[in-house]
Structure 1
Amino acid sequence: MSGDRIAVATSLEPYRTAVAELPLRARAATGREGIVVIPGLGRWTDAAATAAADGASALVITDPELVSADAVRELSAGLRIPVVVERPRLRPDTAEDALRARSGSAPRMLIAEASGPAAALDAVTRDAAGWLRMLSGGALRVVSGDRTLALLQTTAGLAATFGTIAAARTSVGMRIEVLGEVQTQVDVGLAARIVTTSSAGTLIAPARFETSARVALRRALEALETGSAPIDLDDLADDTALLEDLRCTARR
């Protein structure tokens, strides 16, 4: 049976648990075979490139710390294996819940706020940028702004405002609002809460109980099983590039 299961090499307890919960698809491994889980700490791009060179068939990057958009793009361009990026504040399943509840209704304007301690604020801002990208349906650029508030615009001309708050507390959070005939409010702290309001009433998305690690591992397994190629690194690079543009605007 082990020959039919995909090896997963990790020392991280949430992923060990996820492997144990998927016994028909995954098995624990100690080498650099199969799926290799890379902690997103420090120069994680170097660790990912090394694991790929050592023979990994897929990678999972966990909650990556901030590195430059160019470094992420360079990694993406140099890899020929699937890469899944676990972003607990921007889970693909919760993002799909938010989009599905809108039933294709076009947004008219978006508002994003990100808050957290100074050491974590850039990473939180990057992930809030990801929510804006997903809910607007396209890339964004900075039109104007300062250290705490910026005006953005999508390639289709849709406007968005982006506020950041450096807070003394240790917790991080974000709120993203989509205005239009259908309104969406996403609050992200320890978990995500999605509220959709339309002429039909108000819908609160049910809580997701699957761990972020298990979601990421399932996506990596699916990529190997189906031959698909996740674009997580490209999305991460785009979100990081927007953060870098926000930084540059604030320094002007």
Structure 2
Amino acid sequence: MIGICGATGGYRVAVAELPMSVSPATASQDAVVIVKGSHGWAERAISALREGAVGIVVADPGEEDDKVVAELAAVAGRAPVVLDRPRMRADVVADAGVTAAARYLAADAAADVASFRAVVRDAVGWLRVVAGGPLTLRSRAVSAHGVLALLDEAATGRAAVVTVSLLAGRGGSRLRVQAAGETRTEVELDDAADVAVVEVSTIEGALRLPRRRESHERLALRGAISALTGGRPVDDLEAFRHDAALALRLLSSSDN
């Protein structure tokens, strides 16, 4: 039985739904600690690990100093650090997979002011997923209405385009990712409608994969449990650092 410390909201519900695997805990020692993803989350995670936590789940991580995230990775060592990024659910990412033969990679998104920077980061992350590797920025254009950038996948040089438009007012975010070749994979995410859909098309027709119903909080907890009990490697911090660094360059006011 693994103790879960700091569970609130959806994480508290998830703990109740997994009674054979986890139980509530009041201290970090020998527990998986839920860390809020607001500013300073990496430092809070480091503190929990130094207090004896065996794993960390970060709830919707926001922008963070890359040096501190790198320090967190070093302090964590083999202890799993799962980043619960609601627009990049692990099950939907697995459904989309890597489209190795894709000749066209694109992410098109719209977001309000509050979520704009996070959506840019997640759009980059989704392109990394369907490309199957890290991306390099080639050119970009930034305006008051959004950002447009040309990237390429480092190993093969395949081009990838990302466009994120700023929505007027409030209304959540929407993100569509496409990887097209002999097989076309499309991912549609809509915060307001709580929709995450993966569709795979070939010359024989289209297959829309079943909608994932599990809460992202429970999914993240199960990921941490799996890493602890089964040794499943977790590379969430490495992926986040890639996505955050590239998004920062996309949004920078400098041309460098």
**TM-score, normalising length: structure 1:** 0.92
Q: How does 1:1-252 map to 2 (within 5 A)?
A: 5-33=1-29, 34-80=31-77, 81-99=79-97, 106-147=101-142, 148-155=147-154, 156-168=156-168, 169-189=170-190, 190-248=194-252, 251-252=254-255
- CA positional deviation for 1:105: 5.2
Q: How many Å separate the matches in 1 of 2:202 and 2:20?
A: 42
Residues 100, 131 of structure 2: 8 Å contact kept: no
Q: Deviations over 1:71-108 (max 9, x none)?
A: 32222122222111101100110111112xx7x65111
Q: How many Å separate the matches in 1 of 2:185 and 2:66?
A: 29
Q: How many Å separate the matches in 2 of 1:196 and 1:36?
A: 37
Residues 131, 153 of structure 2: 8 Å contact kept: yes
Q: How many Å separate the matches in 1 of 2:48 and 2:25?
A: 14
Q: How many Å separate the matches in 2 of 1:205 and 1:60?
A: 27
Partner AA of 2:151 in structure 1:
L
Partner AA of 1:84 in structure 2:
V
Please identify which structure carries the higher helix content.
1
Please list every run of at least 4 consecutive aligned residues from structure 1 whose deviation after the TM superposition is greater than 6 angstroms: none
Q: How many Å separate the matches in 2 of 1:228 and 1:18?
A: 20
Q: How many Å separate the matches in 2 of 1:94 and 1:144?
A: 29
Q: How many Å separate the matches in 1 of 2:250 and 2:28?
A: 38
Q: How many Å separate the matches in 1 of 2:66 and 2:86?
A: 19
3-state DSSP of counterpart to 2:114: helix
- CA positional deviation for 1:20: 1.1
- Percent of matched pairs sharing the same residue: 36
- CA positional deviation for 1:229: 3.3
Aligned CA-pair RMSD: 1.5
Q: How many Å separate the matches in 2 of 1:198 and 1:87?
A: 29
| Unaligned runs of at least 5 residues, structure 1 | none
Inter-CA distance 69–113: structure 2 relative to 1 (3 Å threshold): farther
Number of residues paired by the alignment? 244
Inter-CA distance 48–117: structure 2 relative to 1 (3 Å threshold): same
| Unaligned runs of at least 5 residues, structure 2 | none
Residues 37, 61 of structure 2: 8 Å contact kept: yes
**TM-score, normalising length: structure 2:** 0.91
- CA positional deviation for 1:112: 0.7
Inter-CA distance 251–166: structure 2 relative to 1 (3 Å threshold): farther
Q: How many Å separate the matches in 1 of 2:66 and 2:204?
A: 41
Q: How many Å separate the matches in 2 of 1:192 and 1:165?
A: 19
3-state DSSP of counterpart to 2:87: coil
Partner AA of 1:159 in structure 2:
A
- CA positional deviation for 1:29: 1.0
Residues 146, 251 of structure 1: 8 Å contact kept: no
